[in-house]
Amino acid sequence: MLVYLSGLDVYNSALCFLAARLRQHRRETGTRWRRLSVDRQALLVLAHLRCGDTYAQLAAGFDIGIATVYRYLRDAFVSLACSLICWRHLKKAHS
């Protein structure tokens, strides 16, 4: 069970979807070591999007640096954008 000290109610499916995208993105980019697992990174991203927590609040809550929060959020947004682009290309190909 993942815990973040906030009144954050997140659907498990959203957490699993984002974690899967991040896992794939890490595999594709050859990322070696990260301070947080993909599950914790997904929770960090969802906490930012849902609650609007600042980078400093997220850094304190997840015990990481502010630059790391920025990098994790950027990686997640790039990963989701790539997934959307791939999905649109597949949809056009099958139309």
Predicted local confidence at residue 6, as pLDDT: 53
Domain locations in the chain as residue ranges: 12-93
Predicted local confidence at residue 81, as pLDDT: 85
Mean pLDDT, the chain, rounded, equals 82
pLDDT in tens, 20-49: 989 988 888 888 778 899 999 999 998 898
pLDDT in tens, 49-91: 888 889 999 999 999 999 999 999 999 998 888 777 666 655 5
Q: Is the pTM of this model over 0.85?
A: no
Q: Which amino acid is at 60?
A: A
Q: Which residues contact 46 (CB under 8 A, 6 or more apart)?
A: 8, 10, 14, 15, 18
